Structure 1
Amino acid sequence: MELLKVNGRFDGKKIAVGILVPVIGGAITGWLANRNAQEKYDKLKKPSYSPPPSVFPIAWTTLYTMMGTAKYRVGMRQETGNKEKPAIPLYELQLGMNYLWSFLYFRWGLRGTALIEMTVLLSTIALTTYEFYQVDRTAGTLMIPYLGWVLFALCLNYHTWKLNDRK
């Protein structure tokens, strides 16, 4: 519970919104982007280190929850100062880019374009992590697993693209 207290305060509504926006947004995006695309994806050659499909929803739900918690903490800190920091706009940008990647990769099969977009996404996540850390060390730390997972996903994206048609 201490994780959810910022400056001794807890705001249940803000933490709920902070977590639910990325979790529900990710679920909706995944459903829309993956609908009718899973059969094509299953037929692709994948690198040996590619995890089973059941890992992805668990990983993303956990990461979205951590991201939402980080945003909540930064938002709570910015209520009492640090309003000039670009942390929240960067967070929103990277979240939108995260959602876009699913459409590029799964829905439209543009794995090369998705690879480029994910490279920019990774940079944006790194910047967001840095800015979050400047505002709240815990928030910045909560973003690190997401940064690592997207780096892993970048490698998966690259090797899957390389092993297949390179579209």
Structure 2
Amino acid sequence: MNRAALFPIIVAATLALITAMVGGTITVLDSWYYALEQPDWAPPDYMFGIIWTSIFALIALAGFLGWQKAPTRRTAEIMLGLFALNGFLNLSWSFIFFRMERPDLAFYELIALWLSILALIVFCGRFSKIASLLLIPYLIWVSIAGMLNYQIVALNGPFG
């Protein structure tokens, strides 16, 4: 494999890793978080790391495949912009929920995150069905996280 072929792999993996690491530093499981009443169906805390690691690996692979299959440079740039927006929204949710301690506002931000994933799925699906399919577990997980977020607000609100 030549250097030009390795570049998208390295970029996708690096960006996914950076986003995951920054998100990990923003996510603080402290006394405030543990005082929140959780719904009965909430996954155990250790599952979140496993799930997010898998999701970020799939995102990186989808980004690589999408970049590889993009029919034009402009399409690749738009796709990268959508991935960047999605990464920003992913980190913003963590910041709002954990650092600002505002699950109520985080829920509304999560709607924007969900829509950004849907936009990625639709956009990538135009030229890489596999990249699009790899993003579906992310959409499903953020849907579950959204229901969890909503239940936390309902069980613990009001906030702020």
TM over 0.5: yes
Runs of 4+ residues over 3 Å off in structure 1:
none
Equivalent residues in 2 for 1:32-43, closer than 5 Å: 33-35=26-28, 37-43=29-35
> 1:67 is matched with which residue?
59
Which has a greater percent of helix?
A: 2
* Contact preservation (8 Å) 1:23, 1:61: no
Q: Does residue 1:81 correspond to 2:81, yes or no?
A: no
Q: 1:11 aligns with which of 5, 11, 21?
A: 5
Whether contact under 8 Å (2:22, 2:91) holds in the other structure is no
Q: Where does the alignment leave 5 or more consecutive residues of structure 2 unmatched?
A: none
Which residue in the other structure is 1:111 paired with? 103
SS of residue paired to 1:109: coil
Contact preservation (8 Å) 1:70, 1:143: yes
Root-mean-square deviation (Å): 1.9
Output one character per residue of 1:42-63: Cα deviation in whole Å (capped at 9) or x when no partner.
1110011100110011111110
Share of identical aligned residues, percent? 26
Matches within 5 A, 1:1-167: 11-31=5-25, 33-35=26-28, 37-78=29-70, 80-81=71-72, 83-84=74-75, 86-167=78-159
Q: Distance in 1 between the 2:45 and 2:133 partners?
A: 27
**Number of residues paired by the alignment?**
156
SS of 2:126's partner is: helix
Q: Secondary structure at the match of 2:45?
A: coil
Distance of 2:5 and 2:22 partners within structure 1: 26
Alignment partner of 2:135: what SS? helix
Q: Following the alignment from structure 1 to structure 2, what is the Cα–Cα distance between the partners of residues 146 and 84?
A: 22
